[in-house]
Amino acid sequence: MNTTSNFSLEFASNGSKYIVFYVPVSTVQNYAINDKLMVDYWAYHTFMEGFDYDVVEDPLDPYVSVIDWDYTINSLTSYTMHPDFTIGTSFTVEFSALGWSSINNDYIKSGNDVITFRPEIKTNISVFYYGDANESFSILNVIPQDQFNDTSIYKEVYVEIWQVGDPSTIELFNMNIDPIIYDYIFQDENVSFYYWVDFAKIQLDLDTIRPGYTIVNDSYTYIEINFISSRLKF
């Protein structure tokens, strides 16, 4: 169906948006699959620096910058790329520059660049607690190799705790503090993609935060991570 002649996007006084069809319902149903329609229209949006994204400059090379988008994929099962977002998709970046009294051949007035989008992923790694003071886990084939040494990807640690002997008190507890700064997680000295969970340190802090509670033996601990994907780049 063609816009304007078959349908149009209209706005109500309260800001609500509506698709108004100018053809019979039976005609619209011919284009539907399982009673669903995909309506595609162009939209233009201006992203705000400091809110939607930040520009991170390389202090050693002022001509190299990275756009850090403030968008995170929270569920890999629900993530899909919009069908119109392809290699040919473009956008415009505008920035201010110093005034020039004279322009020479070295002054760049316009140019094209290839930008690779790597979305940020928010997910969990599970570590089984056998009752030992430390347990190791691997991030190989989970985290891109260029982030093996980036400890900032570790955000939260959730442990199952209880008052020993009372199953009704079992709960999944968020330690709610930086797991790296508080030494709950540390990197292996020899293998960069191996990390350790210090359950002894977690229990020590639990004794203060939740007196009377201990980590449940033979339970899973969940580590929340935020990393930049290389598999979903486009």
* Greater model confidence, 8 or 15: 8
Residue with tokens 């002022």: 62
Q: How far apart are CA 78 and CA 111, in angstroms?
A: 36
Q: List, for residues 46-72, the tens digit of each pLDDT value.
A: 778 888 888 888 888 867 777 887 777
Helix (H) and strand (E) counts in the chain = 2, 13
Instruction: Report the largest interatomic distance among the alpha carbons of the chain, rounded to a whole angstrom.
Output: 81
Q: Residue 6: what pLDDT?
A: 86
Q: How many CB atoms sit inside 10 A of residue 233's CB?
A: 11
Q: Residue 82: what pLDDT?
A: 62
At 135 the three-state DSSP class reads strand
**Contact, 129 vs 159, CB < 8 A?**
yes
* Greater model confidence, 191 or 107: 191
pLDDT of residue 163 exceeding 90, the answer is: yes
84 confidence band (pLDDT: 50, 70, 90): low
Q: Residue 128: what pLDDT?
A: 96
15 confidence band (pLDDT: 50, 70, 90): confident
Q: Residue 157: what pLDDT?
A: 97
Residue with tokens 């760049």: 108
Q: What is the Cβ-side half-sphere exposure of residue 40, based on CA atoms within 13 angstroms?
A: 7
Average pLDDT over all residues of the chain: 83
Q: Residue 138: what pLDDT?
A: 96
> Residue 96 has what DSSP assignment?
-
In the structure encoding, which two tokens stand for residue 137, read together? 């886990």
Q: List, for residues 100-155, the tens digit of each pLDDT value.
A: 555 555 555 566 666 677 788 889 999 999 999 999 999 999 999 999 999 999 99
Mean pLDDT, residues 169-195 taken together:
96
Distances (CA, A) of 5 to 1, 20, 23: 8, 11, 9
